[in-house]
Every structure is written in C-alpha cells, then in structure tokens.
Amino acid sequence: MKRYSTALTAALIFTGLELPSHLTSHNELFASSTERTKDARGQASRTLAAKRTATTAQAPTAQQSCCSLDEAETPNTKTSNSPTAQFAAFTHDRSFVNKHDEPLPYVFQGKGAQVSVKAADGTDCSGYEIKPTKATNNVIFVIHEWWGLNDYIKKEAETLSAELGARVIALDLYDGKVATSREDAGKYMQGNKPERSKAIIAAFQKYVGAEAKIATVGWCFGGGWSHQASLALGKQAVGCVIYYGMPEMDAAKLAAMNAPTLGIFAKQDKWITPEVASKFEAATKAAGKSVEIKIYDADHAFANPSNPKFQKEMAEEAHKMVLAFFKKCFA
C-alpha cells in the first residue's frame, strides 16, 4: 500500500482535499496524534501557570518578610522569631537599606585600645576598651550599628567613659568586619549568628569580672543587642539603653530582666515604629519592670553623627538623657 508522509497528510487535510480511502486510517492516526499533542501542550501550560501562581502567592512582600513581628526569617534563623532575627530580616527591604546613608569619612585617634579575649569555645573575641584613670566596677558595653565597630562607635565609647568615669568596652559582634557600603552592612548584619554574639557578650562579662556593674547601650542593630546583652548579663546588668533597635517582647524573658531600660525611638521610623515602642513599653510594665520611652519626631538613625541626616539637637538631648540614666544606674 502506498504510504504518504505525515506532513503530506496534514497538508491535504489543511487544504480540504479529499484523501484516498486507503489513507483514512493514516488520517485518523494523524488527527489523533495531533489532538494528543495539543492536549499535552495544554496540560503543560496549565501546570506551569499553576506553579507560577502558587509561587507568586507564596512569595512574601517586603512588608511581610521584613517588618512583621511574627513571621520574619533570615537564612541563619529560618524558624526563629527572635528580635535579632526580625531586625536582620529588614535587610531584605530595599527601603530600609536605602534609608541608611553611607557613613561620612571619619578617622578617630583615641585613648582606648583593642582588646582580645577568649570565648568559651576558645575563639578570639575583640573589642575596643577605654579604662578610666581611676579604677571602677562601673562598666558599659557599647554595641555598634549595622556598619560594625567603626571609628564613630569608638568615639562614642570614649565620650561615655570620659563623661561617666566608667570602664567602657565597645564589643565587636562582626569579628573585625566593618562596612562602608549599604550592601556590605546588610550582608554582615544578615550573616550575624546570635549564638556567636552571645558568646562574645559572655566572654567580655567574664573579662570584666563578677564584681562589675554592667550597663549596655547600642544603636540600630546594636540597640536590639543592647537589650539582649542586658538580659544575658543577669544580676550584673544595671541599665540598658536601646536606640531604635528591636526590643525583646517575650513576657518570660522580660520578667527575668534585672536592669531598668531606657528606649529611644523615632516617630518617623517605618521599621522600629512607635507602635513597636508602645508594645514594648506595655510588655515591660506588665512584667513589673522599669522602662522609660522617649520618641523623637525624627527618622531612623537620627542620632548617628556619621549619618548625613544627623539630627544634632535631638541627638544631644537624647545623649543627656542617657547620661542621667546611667548615673542613676551606677549610683
């Protein structure tokens, strides 16, 4: 029997020409094959579209992934709901990243010195220490912003030491990494491992000794870690200052807090919002602990002198509040 190619058969069908009777079966075969191909392609398209829809539905928005107090995740804390994880999640929000103007160039030559101590696991932990001329058990742990332990933070540490006569140590939670660009700052903050930061805090608590009365202060990333450090220091903690950082909200942890807290926040902050500050204040008071909240009509990082948008008058007022607060804590 003479056979025609599938292509020829298709052409005859397309032009409407009548096929010879002996090609009827071939025609039916081709038609059936064509329909199966169409069905398969249609099913594949529907499956792909369904996957795309599901992916779109599951993909978190910047607000969901970065600003939720309950659902934020980071690569190092996939299931963590800790304040540090919530704050690290802000690095996925481009508006948060862009809010941090890159720091102005600054070089500080101070009286302090780099110091290295051993963590419990034997690794080195570093900081910048200023010892006053008169020995004291009053100690302040200063914790840097998302930029790392740069010269601005070292200067703040020296200022506090000079004004309060305290022994001040600026802890390095980035292990020597200092960012000068937003991208690096976001990478370092996101890569920060809470277990490592807690180990550094514990190492310096041991370094200053059991008789030390320890206050903490930090800004932004360091604001949240100031609170976590104060919680971790137990009975040695005497005061905690949080500058626009994510505070702890867990009732049981707050109930165990030994130190009073001063929280300094910004009304225009879209991440550590006034609502966050109010919730924290209510939770702390409900736990029966002392807390004072001050909200300035400014934006995030307003007290950072390396910020081109630095609010000098508000920052100076806040600093005076901090000095008065620490003097009470050390009294």
CB 203 within 8 A of CB 118: yes
- Hey, which residues does 262 pair with through a beta bridge? 241, 292
- Predicted confidence at residue 2, as pLDDT, reads 41
Residue 169 lies in a domain: yes
Summarize pLDDT for 258-299 with one digit per residue, the tens: 999 999 999 999 999 999 999 999 999 999 999 999 999 999
Whether 23 and 10 have beta carbons less than 8 Å apart is answered as no
* Residues 20 and 152 occupy one common structural domain: no
Give the contacts of 195 (CB within 8 A, at least 6 positions apart). none
CATH number, domain with residue 177: 3.40.50.1820
pLDDT, tens only, 288-315: 999 999 999 999 999 998 888 899 999 9
Together in a domain, 13 and 109: no
Please tell me the distance from the alpha carbon of residue 190 to that of residue 128, in angstroms, as a whole number. Answer: 23
In the chain, what percentage of residues exceed pLDDT 90? 68
Is the pLDDT at 16 greater than 70? The verdict is: no
Let me know whether 153 and 291 are in one domain. yes
Using alpha carbons, select from 55, 74, 71, 75 the residue that is nearest to residue 63.
Answer: 71
In a domain, 18, yes or no: yes
Range of the domain at 171: 104-330
Could you tell me where the beta strands, DSSP code E, fall in the chain?
Answer: 113-118, 124-130, 138-143, 167-171, 213-219, 237-243, 261-266, 291-296
Q: Is residue 92 part of a domain?
A: no
Q: Which two tokens stand for residue 262?
A: 């001063």
Please tell me the predicted confidence (pLDDT) of residue 102: 87
Q: Are residues 47 and 110 in the same domain?
A: no
Within-domain flag for 68: no
Q: Give the confidence band of 43 by pLDDT, cuts at 50, 70, 90.
A: low
Identify whether 74 is part of a domain.
Answer: no
- CB 33 within 8 Å of CB 40: no
Which helix (H) or strand (E) element contains residue 156? helix 151-164
pTM for the whole thing? 0.77
- For the segment 106-154, what is each residue's pLDDT rounded down to a tens digit? 889 899 999 999 999 999 999 999 999 999 999 999 999 999 999 999 9
**130 in the same domain as 16:** no
The answer on 151 and 298 residing in a single domain is yes
